[in-house]
């Protein structure tokens, strides 16, 4: 703006020449140089600077940046209201309170250089405003800062216009990035904790669901407050947590198994990934918590299935090998009894030739207990034959006829059969047990072999009643069995398979249904002594039993397992809390109805 500088210079020089005090000329010259320097600084500034009349907000002066923001030359900008430069301010009146400390610099000798700051006393009024200004390349955002000044007794308003388009764009990108990461954070299927100084500072939606606590409660707790005092595999929770956190903070990522507690105190197993990150120069930890309770159950099922299949092949061979000598022993014991029986012509003729009395020989056998021993041999052979039959059932797929069955009806039928199971010497009478039925209405049917599933349910009821007979109940507690029938969508932890999975293929073996399949769920729960973890894990193993010798073969549950899983493509699981309860769950694929 050469014209403005030349006019200012001529006025100041003229003022100096006309002055009668010629000693002021060097000072005026110095002030002129400072004014020119200040003008050059304003012109080179990136922010727009405007000087306004305090009453009318008319632009008195402006630098080059202000003209560029307004899209007007200096001549067209000055002398017009501020709204002419920035249309968005039309009708707006800033609230700028007057009053300033100090005043304009006074005439007189000065010991030091004169500064423009001397002419801009501290203002008491200020207002800021964010506007969108049209421009040739689109819109730009300006931040206006208006201040009131009193200079030489005259009120003025300064307006600083700063282009904040890039800053706003960067802030919006940052907010967008935060929204994306927050969406990912909240949508994660695993629980996520952000930890600083040993406390949970933030948690996602899944964490609140998993622990059953609201966010404001979680963010005031330490991880150990959400855990039992002792970890089953590691020891003292506090000591192990401090060690894990210290290693993660040192830059060594941690991956380990842990037991946490829900809000109701129920424990659950999880896998935790713990790693460090830096936020605003401070070290933080991110903990990703995955609930593996159902996966562990599925893992047990898969291990059990593999174990059963390997034993099944051996069982089939053993059964055939045992059957041959067993048949010979049974037949020989039976023939021994028949050949000692009087009244049989061949027996009478052989006794006459030997010169013995057949009745006396029989009497001798009875006195010496030989007849009872032979009977015991036959009973033992029958028991062994029953075991062999179970082994064959265990090893091969049944060809029993299938139909659509109502499992609640089969369960009631199994209860009727179990009511005949009693042993007064062992205080075991099924009729003394309270049966509670919880059958969900509208439960679909399952395609199954009714006799086989009825056998499974009978085995579960019989095991429950026998377990109940071994428990001494408090005065107010009575023996009971709860029977539940309902539906379930998929098997927890089982990966999904394409449509049609779960039906038999050409090999004759049923395929495992996918996670999206519908199952009919049957539960048999008793309030007996329950099982410890070691017993629960081995419950379906062949020949494993907790009963005394001679009372159980250990094949009832293993045969039930194969009937459900191999013959019907279903699942059978057991859960227990020692001393309180035990629950067996049977899942059978529901019949699909056409749309």
On whether both 128 and 11 belong to a single domain, the answer is: yes
With respect to residue 369, please indicate whether it lies within any of the assigned structural domains: yes
pLDDT digits (tens, 9 = 90+) for 207-250: 999 999 999 999 889 999 999 999 887 889 999 999 999 999 99
CATH classification of the domain holding 258: 3.30.450.20
On whether both 341 and 200 belong to a single domain, the answer is: no
On whether both 354 and 320 belong to a single domain, the answer is: yes
Residue 278: pLDDT over 70: yes
Instruction: Band the pLDDT of 474: cuts 50, 70, 90.
Output: confident
Residue with tokens 């030997």: 354
Q: How many CA atoms lie within 13 A of 395 on its CB side?
A: 17
Q: How far apart are CA 412 and CA 142, in angstroms?
A: 80
Range of 19-23, 129-133, 284-288, 312-316 with top mean pLDDT: 284-288
For 249-274, what is the mean pLDDT? 91
Query: If DSSP codes are grouped into helix, strand and coil, which group holds residue 201?
Result: strand
Residue 169: pLDDT over 90: no
On whether both 134 and 220 belong to a single domain, the answer is: no
Among the listed residues 507, 512, 516, 498, the one whose alpha carbon sits nearest the alpha carbon of residue 564 = 512
Tell me 426's DSSP state. Answer: G
On whether both 361 and 229 belong to a single domain, the answer is: no
On whether both 316 and 236 belong to a single domain, the answer is: no
For 327-346, what is the mean pLDDT? 80
With respect to residue 556, please indicate whether it lies within any of the assigned structural domains: no
pLDDT digits (tens, 9 = 90+) for 569-588: 899 999 998 888 999 999 99
On whether both 6 and 150 belong to a single domain, the answer is: yes
Q: How far apart are CA 534 and CA 536, in angstroms?
A: 6
Domain ranges, residue 317? 296-396
Q: How far apart are CA 59 and CA 89, in angstroms?
A: 13
Quote the number of domains for the chain: 3
For position 309, what pLDDT does the model report?
A: 59
Q: How far apart are CA 217 and CA 202, in angstroms?
A: 10
On whether both 359 and 303 belong to a single domain, the answer is: yes
Residue 90: pLDDT over 60: yes
On whether both 194 and 227 belong to a single domain, the answer is: yes
For position 382, what pLDDT does the model report?
A: 80
Among the listed residues 116, 108, 152, 105, the one whose alpha carbon sits nearest the alpha carbon of residue 34 = 116
Determine how β-strand 518-526 pairs with β-strand 581-589: antiparallel
Q: How far apart are CA 8 and CA 162, in angstroms?
A: 27
For position 426, what pLDDT does the model report?
A: 53
316 contacts: CB under 8 Å, gap ≥ 6: 391, 392, 395, 396
DSSP3 helix / strand / coil % (the chain, rounded to 5): 45, 25, 30
Q: Which of 369, 396, 423 is the last residue of a domain?
A: 396
pLDDT digits (tens, 9 = 90+) for 47-56: 888 988 888 8
Residue 450: pLDDT over 70: yes
For position 486, what pLDDT does the model report?
A: 93
Query: If DSSP codes are grouped into helix, strand and coil, which group holds residue 523?
Result: strand
Chain centre distance of CA 166: 40
User: Are 473 and 520 contacting, i.e. CB atoms less than 8 angstroms apart?
Assistant: no
With respect to residue 541, please indicate whether it lies within any of the assigned structural domains: no
Residue 193: pLDDT over 90: yes
> Between vectors from CA 200 to CA 196 and to CA 205, what angle results, nearest 5°?
130
CATH classification of the domain holding 135: 3.30.450
Percentage of the chain exceeding pLDDT 90: 20
Residue 547: pLDDT over 80: no
Residue 136: pLDDT over 70: no
Among the listed residues 84, 71, 5, the one whose alpha carbon sits nearest the alpha carbon of residue 38 = 5
The pTM of the full predicted model, rounded to 2 decimals, is 0.43
For 350-355, what is the mean pLDDT? 80
Residue 114: pLDDT over 80: no
On whether both 203 and 325 belong to a single domain, the answer is: no
With respect to residue 570, please indicate whether it lies within any of the assigned structural domains: no
Q: Which of 291, 318, 340 is the last residue of a domain?
A: 291
For position 423, what pLDDT does the model report?
A: 55
The two structure tokens encoding residue 398? 């049944």
With respect to residue 252, please indicate whether it lies within any of the assigned structural domains: yes
With respect to residue 485, please indicate whether it lies within any of the assigned structural domains: no
Q: What is the mean pLDDT of the chain?
A: 78
Percentage of the chain exceeding pLDDT 70: 76
For position 325, what pLDDT does the model report?
A: 82
For position 505, what pLDDT does the model report?
A: 36
User: Are 544 and 562 contacting, i.e. CB atoms less than 8 angstroms apart?
Assistant: no
Out of 104-118, 226-240, 292-306, 536-550, which region has the weakest mean confidence (pLDDT)? 104-118
Count Cβ atoms within 10 A of the Cβ of residue 391 and give its class: 0-12 exposed, 13-18 middle, 19 or more buried. buried
For position 123, what pLDDT does the model report?
A: 43
Q: What are phi and psi of 241, to 5 degrees?
A: -65, -45
User: Are 193 and 210 contacting, i.e. CB atoms less than 8 angstroms apart?
Assistant: no
Q: How far apart are CA 426 and CA 542, in angstroms?
A: 25
Range of 23-37, 101-115, 197-211 with top mean pLDDT: 197-211
On whether both 206 and 341 belong to a single domain, the answer is: no
For position 285, what pLDDT does the model report?
A: 93
With respect to residue 498, please indicate whether it lies within any of the assigned structural domains: no
For position 129, what pLDDT does the model report?
A: 84
With respect to residue 137, please indicate whether it lies within any of the assigned structural domains: yes
Q: Which of 257, 291, 325 is the last residue of a domain?
A: 291
On whether both 306 and 273 belong to a single domain, the answer is: no
């Amino acid at each position: 703006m050469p014209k403005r500088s030349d006019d200012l210079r001529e006025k100041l020089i003229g003022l100096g020449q006309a002055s009668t005090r010629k000693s002021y000329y060097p000072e005026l010259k110095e002030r002129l140089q400072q004014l020119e320097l200040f003008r050059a600084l304003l012109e080179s500034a990136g922010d727009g600077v405007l000087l306004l009349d305090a009453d009318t907000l008319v632009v008195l002066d402006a630098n080059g940046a202000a003209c560029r923001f307004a899209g007007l030359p200096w001549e067209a900008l000055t002398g017009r209201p501020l709204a002419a430069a920035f249309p968005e301010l039309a009708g707006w009146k800033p609230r700028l309170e007057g009053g300033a400390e100090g005043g304009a610099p006074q005439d007189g000798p000065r010991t030091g250089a004169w500064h423009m700051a001397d002419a801009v006393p501290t203002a008491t009024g200020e207002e800021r405003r964010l506007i969108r200004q049209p421009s040739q390349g689109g819109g730009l955002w300006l931040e206006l800062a208006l201040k009131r000044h009193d200079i030489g007794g005259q009120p003025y308003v300064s307006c600083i216009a700063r282009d904040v388009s890039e800053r706003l764009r960067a802030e919006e990108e940052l907010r967008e990035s935060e929204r994306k990461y927050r969406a990912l954070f909240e949508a994660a299927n695993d629980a996520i904790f952000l930890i600083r100084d040993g406390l949970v500072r933030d948690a996602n939606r899944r964490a609140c669901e998993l622990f059953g606590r609201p966010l404001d409660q979680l963010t005031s707790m330490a991880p150990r407050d959400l855990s039992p005092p002792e970890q089953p595999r590691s020891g003292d929770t506090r000591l192990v947590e401090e060690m894990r956190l210290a290693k993660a903070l040192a830059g060594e990522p941690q991956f380990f198994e842990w037991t946490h507690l829900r809000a109701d105190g129920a424990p659950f197993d999880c896998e935790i990934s713990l790693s460090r990150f830096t936020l605003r120069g401070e070290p933080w930890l991110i903990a990703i918590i995955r609930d593996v309770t159902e996966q562990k159950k599925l893992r047990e099922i898969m291990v059990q299935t593999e174990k059963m299949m390997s034993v099944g092949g051996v069982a089939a061979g053993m059964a055939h090998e045992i059957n041959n000598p067993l048949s010979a022993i049974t037949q020989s014991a039976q023939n021994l009894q028949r050949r000692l029986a009087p009244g049989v012509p061949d027996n009478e003729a052989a006794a006459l030739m030997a010169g013995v009395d057949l009745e006396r020989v029989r009497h001798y056998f009875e006195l010496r207990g030989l007849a009872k021993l032979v009977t015991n041999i036959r009973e033992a052979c029958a028991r062994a034959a029953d075991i062999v039959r179970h082994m064959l059932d265990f090893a091969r797929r049944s060809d029993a006829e299938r139909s659509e069955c109502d499992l609640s009806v089969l369960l009631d039928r199994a209860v009727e059969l179990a009511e005949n199971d009693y042993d007064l010497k062992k205080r075991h009478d099924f009729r003394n047990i309270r049966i509670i039925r919880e059958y969900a209405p509208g439960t679909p049917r399952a395609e199954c072999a009714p006799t086989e599933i009825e056998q499974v349910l009978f085995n579960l009821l019989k095991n429950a009643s026998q377990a109940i007979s071994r428990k001494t109940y408090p005065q107010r507690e009575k023996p009971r069995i709860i029977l539940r029938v309902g539906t379930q969508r998929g098997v927890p932890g089982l990966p999904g398979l394409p449509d049609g999975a779960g039906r038999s293929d050409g090999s004759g073996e049923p395929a495992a249904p996918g996670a999206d399949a519908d199952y009919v769920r049957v539960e048999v729960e008793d309030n007996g002594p329950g099982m410890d973890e070691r017993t629960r894990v081995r419950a379906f193993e062949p020949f494993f039993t907790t009963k005394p010798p001679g009372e159980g073969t250990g094949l009832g549950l293993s045969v039930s397992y194969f009937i459900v899983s191999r013959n019907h493509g279903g699942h059978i699981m057991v859960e227990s809390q020692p001393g309180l309860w035990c629950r067996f769950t049977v899942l059978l694929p529901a019949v699909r109805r056409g749309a």
